[in-house]
Amino acid sequence: MCGIAGWVGYDSDLTRQSETVHAMTRTMACRGPDDSGTWIRPHVALGHRRLSIIDLAGGRQPMEVRTPAGAVAMVYSGETYNFTELRAELEGRGHRFRTVSDTEVVLRGYLEWGDGVADHLNGMFAFAVWDERTDRLVLIRDRLGIKPLYYYPTGDGVLFGSEPKAILANPAAGRVVDTAGLRELVGFTMTPGWALWRGMAEVEPGTIVTVGAGGIRTRRYWTLEAKAHHDDLETTVGTVRELMTDIVRRQLVADVPRCVLLSGGLDSSAVTGLAAAHLAEQGERLRTFSVDFVGREETFRADEVRDTPDTPFIREVVDLVGSAHKFVTLNPDELTDPELRRAVITARDLPIGFGEMDTSLYQLFQAIRGESTVALSGESADEVFAGYRWFHDPAAVDAGTFPWLAYQSAMSGDRSAVLNPAVRRLLDVDSYVADQYATAAAAVSHADTDSDVDRRMRTVSNLHLTRFVRMLLDRKDRVSMAVGLEVRVPFCDHRLVEYVYNTPWSMKTFDGREKSLLRAATAHVVPESVRYRLKASYPSTQDSNYNAVLQQQAKEVLADRDHPVHDLIDQDWLTGVVALDPATVPSNVRRGIDRVLDLYHWFDLYHPEFRLD
């Protein structure tokens, strides 16, 4: 796993811009603490920071192959899980390798197939190839959007990077946030290609962006296709089991210590069970990690999103699979540290996050990084197997909008409530969300065999796999890579996604509840109690002192009257919520206070220019 950055300027001499290129590359140091490299030519510059995972000695980048027609150079972030098979195929086609890295396999795959190499890759990746033979840059991102990649067109080329901060390190990139950027930030529709900064865009998942002297063009190489499903239930469960077994096996390949993130839910427990079984065959013992808060198990209170504490279920999984487990127990008081909040904001480049669920995740990953470099996660199973509670809530499914916005719970609330009335009127978020939903729903294709129910649920599934999941993948990547930890997501293997996407709703819920196929396919490696546990969200602290500290910090924001955040926030709303009894602050209000604090610190870190009209 790594961080990449680069610059193409067809009318520029970039050999005179080495300091700027190095500055762009340095912003990715957290993603790649092990090595750094640049490749600079008159019209192109590539930068790379490396987190060494495979072929520790031989996988240095930028990587270059010289051909009679010119050099081909690449910077690559990610993992290609089928690189062994691809290497053998390419060797059969006459290619000779200097390393045993997956990076060289991808580069030589480009030499063989051009940008069609994307069709051959199984993995998570974002990479850039400069092809001197055609004087063009090719940017390619994986199918589900696991690895991030952004670009910023300029007058004579483009800037690009794994994260916006790499692009913003170049003076040619403006730090302007306009109405469109802010509208999506609070609208939470996950508009494809969106980036907060004006002029910047995300390379969409499954997409190739080609930059030449004549301009920029994009091509979609992968999309979710609706197909009829012909397998019976037994065959379907068996296929999911075979896919999951193969996926986990492939994603355990690494030349560094690896582990599994274990929450005690079905998703992570399934990955844990499969990983433990595979490693046991090799005489290895799996390592697992989980997060909790001081005293949480003893003082736990059930709520709308968490029926039970995680710890008892985690212990049952550990007892079954025999993993070497470590509980990372956090002190809620530490989660309110402003420096920790600023670290997370810097990691995500965003002014609105998930409060202590982000800061605790950051601390969890920090603790794991001290003992492991690679972690497998259960992320995205809810999108693939329909695990969220709103999938099974008719009111949310039939609301005529994005289900995650329609679903009502203690966490629900108006994300724009913290903004002042004038800004809210300008953004008109309700109209924006309605337009985005209409566009997204109209783009979903259906199979001729789909029933009315299947058509509706295929739409819901598509929205999650093409929009909602991207936000969670970005969060997991950015927070983990901020501490140099590579997190892999087996449930985002495109083979599994494609197969389950086309199973009828009656199969996805054949036992009368969520994630029926996953439950049946992994029953042999998961304790019965976990198999039938209700979906629970990522843990958050229930300590009312956390609320009190947030309220005190919000009072300090109110007192800092000249701060630019006051051009956006609703001071009356904030004044009201800081006066509440900390023990009775609703979850959605706490999230609102978190958003204000995020905005406050983000202004200080990024110095944005707002142009709202």
| C-alpha atoms less than 13 angstroms from C-alpha of 329 in its C-beta half-sphere | 7
- Which range has the worst mean pLDDT, 200-209, 514-523, 530-539, 572-581? 530-539
pLDDT at 543 over 60: yes
Strands 609-611 and 374-376: unpaired
Give which of 464, 542, 551, 554 is closest to 500, Cα–Cα.
Answer: 464
pLDDT at 517 over 80: yes
Percent of all residues in the chain with a pLDDT value above 70, rounded to a whole number? 97
Confidence label for 439 from pLDDT (cuts 50, 70 and 90): very high
Active site residue 492: no
Percent of all residues in the chain with a pLDDT value above 90, rounded to a whole number? 86
Strands 2-9 and 44-50: antiparallel
Q: What is the pLDDT of residue 224?
A: 97
pLDDT at 410 over 60: no
The CA–CA distances, whole Å, from 205 to 49, 169, 458, 477 equal: 22, 24, 19, 14
Q: What is the pLDDT of residue 412?
A: 67
Asked, as a colleague might, if the bond just before 62 is cis with ω within 30 of 0, I would say yes
Mean pLDDT of the chain: 94
Give which of 356, 350, 353 is closest to 334, Cα–Cα.
Answer: 356
Give which of 523, 460, 577 is closest to 238, Cα–Cα.
Answer: 523
Q: What is the pLDDT of residue 304?
A: 65
| C-alpha atoms less than 13 angstroms from C-alpha of 547 in its C-beta half-sphere | 19
| Contact residues for 265 (Cβ-Cβ < 8 A; gap 6+) | 310, 313, 378, 530, 533, 535, 536
Mean pLDDT of 483-491: 96
pLDDT at 539 over 90: no
Confidence label for 352 from pLDDT (cuts 50, 70 and 90): confident
Mean pLDDT of 297-320: 82
Query: Is there a contact between 8 and 137 (Cβ–Cβ < 8 Å)?
Result: yes
Q: What is the pLDDT of residue 411?
A: 58
Q: What is the pLDDT of residue 288?
A: 98
| pLDDT, tens digit (0-9, with 9 covering 90-100), for 445-486 | 999 999 999 999 999 999 999 999 999 999 999 999 999 999
The CA–CA distances, whole Å, from 14 to 10, 46, 158, 214 equal: 9, 10, 12, 19
Q: Model pTM? A: 0.96
pLDDT at 603 over 60: yes
pLDDT at 121 over 70: yes
